Structure 1
Amino acid sequence: MINNQIANQLYRPSQVRELDRVAIEERGIPGFELMQRAGRAAFELLLECWPKPEKLHVFCGSGNNAGDGYVIAALAVRQGLPVQVIYLGDPQKLTGDAQLAYGHAIAAGVPCQPFGEDNSLQTGVVVDALLGSGLHGSVREPFGKAIRQINSSQLPVLAVDIPSGLCGDSGAELGLAVQADATVSFIGHKRGLFTGRGPALCGEVFFDSLDVPADIYQSQQPVAQLLEYDRLRQQFPPRRRDAHKGDFGHLMVIGGDSGMGGAVMLAAEAALRCGAGLVSVATRPEHVPALLARRPEVMALGVNSGQELVQHLAKPTVLVIGPGLGQSPWSQQLLQAALGCDLPMLLDADALNLLAQGPLSFSSHNNDRVITPHPGEAARLLGVETAALQKDRFSAAQQLVNQTGAVTVLKGAGTLVCDGENTTICTAGNPGMASGGMGDVLSGVIGALLAQGLAPMDAAQLSVYLHAAAADKVAEQQGELGMIASDLFQPLRDLFNEGTG
């Protein structure tokens, strides 16, 4: 039915429509046959998720997405399941394959009724076949009312191809959108399903290629990829038996202004747990005793100024600057000193906020740099509002690369990793990660991989995945609520040791 390579490729909605056109017009697959395949795939998935639904409520719009819904309804009737189609727009005005699907449903005896405020959604499963991925602009009425009715029903929802109201290109919510429990995507994954509002609205995402010929995908270049752990893991080979700590780099974490010493400690310990050979911390002198008491393996350096830091920058091979850095004159001096050296570097948190304020610049003699902004930090760097940035995270990540020259990790649901030519999306992770210090741990992980010689893009991608996968292990064992950043240390170490023999 599918292969992993196709399932991991992400496209713009317009590209998926072109793949559909090629399959129909150039490969001779009748459009209605593809629609029937889509309807059957969705119906079979529905029964896998909800094996004995009391009733199916199929909401149909006025396009090909509606055609999929009518096929689903006909299949339900033929299997003896109670079903009703609730349509918006006159089904008599449907055209093409959608019209054929409507006639197919009527011939099967599917009861159809127009949308109204009195539609009964008391039990069963809702099928969302209202609006497809071609939606532009905000959802209009009466579709808005239908979406609100679906969401307020609290019934499980299967979205056909995409939740109605979600932008398949950017992942933005177009005014309002269906909150689905599962989404089945056809022929090619739309990139907006996996970032922005996509992860929250789609539920679990499934894919079916509808058995279109594999060679049709040569007509479209994917615009993004889902992170592939197996491929990334190959970038991290087993250690030689005669290895020593010098083989795995010396990472220095810089930050920890007054009251924020924990941030650098989290980053430093994460780096140790992920294999950095040596880890040092440059921080406020008052934090040194606590850091040494917690983790004596870390070399803790108290520095009072950027000038003091400079004398220590000859030893590390990689820098991580930003965790707990603050925005004081001390913070600015340390950032200026770090930016003045020609080392691979990760910048996070207040390092990015200080850069956004100026006058420090991101100019560099090399391109071995990674930035890891959350949406607020990214918005400050680009001089836009956070809400505006979140409406098109793909564009924002590309702009950040163009502005800084650094591999960009745009954090959030559906974290993006972009180097200007390639963009990948992480689908692992969970809401338990929404707690202080998680970003500091990620910075330490990426820094550790940079120290061990991975290229910035590879280090960022593998770290983002493993960081999220570690959080998923914690959630599976202990639940999401109450997860703290240091909970990730042991599962991170376990994940890094898998398969290293």
Structure 2
Amino acid sequence: MKVGTSQIIKNIDKYCIDNIGIPGIVLMENAAIKVIKNIPLEKFNNFVVVCGKGNNGGDGFAVCRHLYSLGKKVDVFLIGEEKNMSKDCYVNYSILKNMGLRIHTINNIEDINNLRETLERSDITIDSIFGTGLNSKVKDIYSTVISVINENSSYILAVDIPSGLDSNNGKVLGNCIRANKTVTFQLYKRGFLNYEIHNLLGELIVEDIGIPEFIEDKFHQKEFILDEDMVRSKIGVRDKYSHKGDYGRVAVIAGSKGYTGAAYICTEGAVKSGAGLVTLCTREDILESLACKVSEAMLISIEDEKKFNEMIKKSNSIAIGPGMGNSEDTFKILVNVIQNSDCPLVIDADGLNVIKNDINILKEKKNNLILTPHLGEMARLIDKPIDYIKENRIEIAKDFAEKYGVVLLLKGYYTIITDGESLIVNSTGNSAMASGGMGDCLTGIIASLLAQGYSPLKAAALGAYIHGYCGDKLSKEMFCVNASHILRYLPYGMKKIQNL
């Protein structure tokens, strides 16, 4: 699924109209039909449609016509007068007038009271006031109308976007519709990724309105949301003649006294997701206790410098950081690995925490790096507040990845994966997974996929999807899902994705 900004949508519409010859009124009609498709018409009969003067209002007028033709009771409201309507909006407005439908205008307090009374009698309110082009604060009568709709509607369906929401960043522009369902068109709006707006969108449906894919691709900026089809097509089928050497060697550098669990979980994540050979490199003083738990991976001591450096050289991927401790010693190990390894690295947890000592060490890499911070770790990496990162996740992630030449996986709801150019948003995972060890498990999975030959961006994206997919499946029957549950289910989950 492609993600787009308001400017991309504007460019696509303009190209369709000016270069291909698809009239704007046709796109508007297609949009209206898709809105109708998403209304349970067998259950509802009374509708209020509130329209603005732009193309979003034109969508609303077209929806009115279809509802009226289906025998539904429709009350239509226009905020203001017909003056300064967009061309295509005026076409659908005129059709309604020619059909004899009364269009109520909203200009004063008396009109507002009429709207309020009508809303109270209605089954569904359809919001077609503002579309994706809104970029200034909602005020005056528009803000009042939005408040009245929110306060007096039984159910609200927003056309393309809840009116008052900035489609680029998800910020509320003064006042905003609180929809029960949003039917958006063609592209997933970038602003919908904002953490704070789930209670404004309601159920979100993305509908195709007949724009050819090659036109989307012409303007689209390589921003995607992962879905099952995309992931399934990328997971390779194992050749029947293959052996463990074909699926790569993973070195997991993790653990310290008191943090053996992180090392174990990360190692098992690599094992359970299909790596051929996995070696846990850890501290001498916890080696024996971990040897009792890890049965399908090898173990070596970090203090055995000869063996450790040999392992760094012969590995196909390395995971480093979980449970190592935020210390100068951890930083020295990380620098050694970055400067001397010839394979891609996944850096997580304490590996990220110590980078702030000298972040430019990232530029000394000999191979690809994947960094997997959560919001707190990202805040420490760039010395910015967590709230700032929440509000600007995409821009921050892309800028950081481009500046340091890394793949960045910024964890959280709608995990973001980017190399600075392409951006992939993960669609799986849920709050039942909010527990210690989940990040360690993900790091092991990504390292395993790297060793199996997937590119860094693809390994990070697939790893995030698989990890969240397993959590989603388990949480259907479990109140909370822990890393150990993910590890047990992981091979089954990957097979299910492959066979979907």
Asked whether the equivalents of residues 238 and 500 of structure 1 are also in contact (C-alpha less than 8 Å), the reply is: no
Which residue of structure 2 aligns with residue 438 of structure 1? 438
1:243 aligned counterpart, secondary structure: coil
Query: In the alignment, does 2:25 pair up with 1:32?
Result: yes
The separation in 2 between residues aligned to 1:278 and 1:147, in whole angstroms, is: 59
The separation in 2 between residues aligned to 1:486 and 1:97, in whole angstroms, is: 57
**Superposed displacement of residue 43, structure 1:** 1.8
Relative distance call for 1:389 and 1:35 in structure 2 (3 A) is: same
Match of 1:78 among 54, 69, 78: 69
1:463 aligned counterpart, secondary structure: helix
Which residue of structure 2 aligns with residue 119 of structure 1? 116
Which residue of structure 2 aligns with residue 260 of structure 1? 259
Question: Which is worse superposed, 402-411 or 176-185?
Answer: 176-185
Match of 1:487 among 470, 477, 485: 485
Which residue of structure 2 aligns with residue 42 of structure 1? 35
Which 4+ stretches in 1 moved above 6 angstroms? 304-308
The separation in 1 between residues aligned to 2:320 and 2:174, in whole angstroms, is: 38
**Superposed displacement of residue 411, structure 1:** 2.3
Which residue of structure 1 aligns with residue 398 of structure 2? 398
Relative distance call for 1:260 and 1:95 in structure 2 (3 A) is: same
The separation in 2 between residues aligned to 1:144 and 1:484, in whole angstroms, is: 45
Relative distance call for 1:34 and 1:435 in structure 2 (3 A) is: same
- Root-mean-square deviation (CA, aligned residues, Å) is 3.4
The separation in 2 between residues aligned to 1:168 and 1:239, in whole angstroms, is: 42
TM-score (norm 2): 0.85
Relative distance call for 1:219 and 1:245 in structure 2 (3 A) is: closer
The separation in 1 between residues aligned to 2:148 and 2:484, in whole angstroms, is: 42
Relative distance call for 1:157 and 1:309 in structure 2 (3 A) is: farther
The separation in 1 between residues aligned to 2:22 and 2:6, in whole angstroms, is: 20
Query: In the alignment, does 2:92 pair up with 1:96?
Result: no
Asked whether the equivalents of residues 438 and 484 of structure 1 are also in contact (C-alpha less than 8 Å), the reply is: yes
Which residue of structure 1 aligns with residue 243 of structure 2? 244
Which residue of structure 2 aligns with residue 59 of structure 1? 50
**Count of residue pairs brought into register by the alignment:** 490
Which residue of structure 2 aligns with residue 449 of structure 1? 449
**Superposed displacement of residue 446, structure 1:** 0.5
Query: In the alignment, does 2:413 pair up with 1:413?
Result: yes
Q: Deviations over 1:149-174 (max 9, x none)?
A: 55566844322112333332344454
Amino acid at match of 1:166: L
Relative distance call for 1:219 and 1:345 in structure 2 (3 A) is: closer
The separation in 1 between residues aligned to 2:202 and 2:293, in whole angstroms, is: 40
Asked whether the equivalents of residues 196 and 393 of structure 1 are also in contact (C-alpha less than 8 Å), the reply is: no
Q: Deviations over 1:6-55 (max 9, x none)?
A: xx3333221212222233333434333332322222122123xx741253
The separation in 1 between residues aligned to 2:261 and 2:139, in whole angstroms, is: 49
Relative distance call for 1:311 and 1:37 in structure 2 (3 A) is: closer
Amino acid at match of 2:278: V
1:46 aligned counterpart, secondary structure: coil
Amino acid at match of 1:483: V
Amino acid at match of 2:95: H
Asked whether the equivalents of residues 74 and 108 of structure 1 are also in contact (C-alpha less than 8 Å), the reply is: no
Which residue of structure 2 aligns with residue 370 of structure 1? 370
**Superposed displacement of residue 314, structure 1:** 4.4
Query: In the alignment, does 2:184 pair up with 1:185?
Result: yes
Which residue of structure 2 aligns with residue 5 of structure 1? none
Question: Which is worse superposed, 304-313 or 155-164?
Answer: 304-313
Any stretches of 5+ residues in structure 2 without a counterpart?
none
Asked whether the equivalents of residues 370 and 408 of structure 2 are also in contact (C-alpha less than 8 Å), the reply is: yes
Relative distance call for 1:387 and 1:101 in structure 2 (3 A) is: farther
Asked whether the equivalents of residues 125 and 157 of structure 1 are also in contact (C-alpha less than 8 Å), the reply is: yes
Summarize the alignment of residues 264-413 of structure 1 with structure 2, pairs less than 5 Å apart.
Answer: 264-285=263-284, 287-301=286-300, 303=302, 310=309, 313-314=312-313, 316-342=315-341, 343-358=343-358, 361-413=361-413
**Superposed displacement of residue 338, structure 1:** 2.7
The separation in 2 between residues aligned to 1:281 and 1:108, in whole angstroms, is: 76
Which residue of structure 2 aligns with residue 168 of structure 1? 167
Asked whether the equivalents of residues 281 and 299 of structure 1 are also in contact (C-alpha less than 8 Å), the reply is: yes
Match of 1:68 among 52, 55, 59: 59
What percent identity do the matched residue pairs reach? 30
1:119 aligned counterpart, secondary structure: helix
Q: Deviations over 1:231-269 (max 9, x none)?
A: 544544333334332332222222334433322222221
Amino acid at match of 2:401: V
The separation in 1 between residues aligned to 2:147 and 2:18, in whole angstroms, is: 38
Asked whether the equivalents of residues 407 and 456 of structure 1 are also in contact (C-alpha less than 8 Å), the reply is: yes
Relative distance call for 1:364 and 1:137 in structure 2 (3 A) is: farther
1:363 aligned counterpart, secondary structure: helix
The separation in 1 between residues aligned to 2:76 and 2:350, in whole angstroms, is: 53
1:165 aligned counterpart, secondary structure: coil
Relative distance call for 1:11 and 1:288 in structure 2 (3 A) is: same
The separation in 2 between residues aligned to 1:281 and 1:180, in whole angstroms, is: 50
Relative distance call for 1:45 and 1:500 in structure 2 (3 A) is: closer
Query: In the alignment, does 2:101 pair up with 1:109?
Result: yes
Q: Deviations over 1:178-231 (max 9, x none)?
A: 443432222444333346556664344333332345554464244422335445
Question: Which is worse superposed, 344-353 or 320-329?
Answer: 320-329
Any stretches of 5+ residues in structure 1 without a counterpart?
1-7
